[in-house]
Amino acid sequence: MSLIDDAAAVRLNAYAPYSKFKVGAALKSSSGAVHVGCNVENVAYPEGTCAEAGALAAMIAAGDTGFVEIAVIADSPSPVPPCGGCRQKLAEFADAGARITMATTDGVTQEMAVADLLPGAFDAGHMESV
C-alpha cells in the first residue's frame, strides 16, 4: 500500500460537514512508520484541524520526531498544496530531502521537496539568541 493509498483511506474518515471538502494525509516517519490524519472541521471554522497537522500529531504521539515523505489527497480538480500554517508545521519536522506528493482522487499527482513549499521558513536557527 502506498502513502497515497493510506491518505485516500483516511480521507474517508474526515469530518467535513460544513465545507464537504475531505482531505487525507499519510506520512512516513524517519523510523519507517506510517502515520495518518484527516481534516476535522468545527462550526467555528478557525478551530478545525488540517489533515497534515493530524498526521504530524499522530507521528509525535507515537514517539517519532521527523518524517521523510508525506502524501496529501483531496477531491479537487488539481492537487491541493498544504495551507500556510501546515507548511510551517511540515518544515518543523521534515528530514533533509523530505518529499511531498499532492494528489487528487482522480489520480493527478504533483511531487516536490517539502523544503520548496516554504522558502525562507522560520526555523530553530532563528531562535539561537533566545
40 in a labelled binding site: yes
Mark whether 52 is an active-site residue.
Answer: yes
Choose the catalytic residue: 52, 69, 92, 111.
52
47 among annotated binding-site residues: no
Do the annotations mark residue 39 as ligand-binding? yes
What sign for the dihedral angle of Cα 56, 24, 116, 69? positive
18 is in an annotated binding site: no
Find out whether 86 is annotated in a ligand binding site.
Answer: yes
19 neighbors 43 (Cβ within 8 angstroms): no
Q: Which residue has the cell 518524517?
A: 67
State yes or no: 108 annotated in a binding site. Answer: no
15 annotated ligand binder: no
Q: Which cell is 111 given?
A: 511531487
Q: Measured between alpha carbons, how far is 8 from 31 in angstroms, rounded to an integer?
A: 22
Which residue numbers are catalytic?
52
Q: Which residues are annotated as a binding site for substrate?
A: 39-45
Q: Which residues are annotated as a binding site?
A: 39-45, 50, 83, 86
Q: Which residues are annotated as a binding site for Zn(2+)?
A: 50, 83, 86
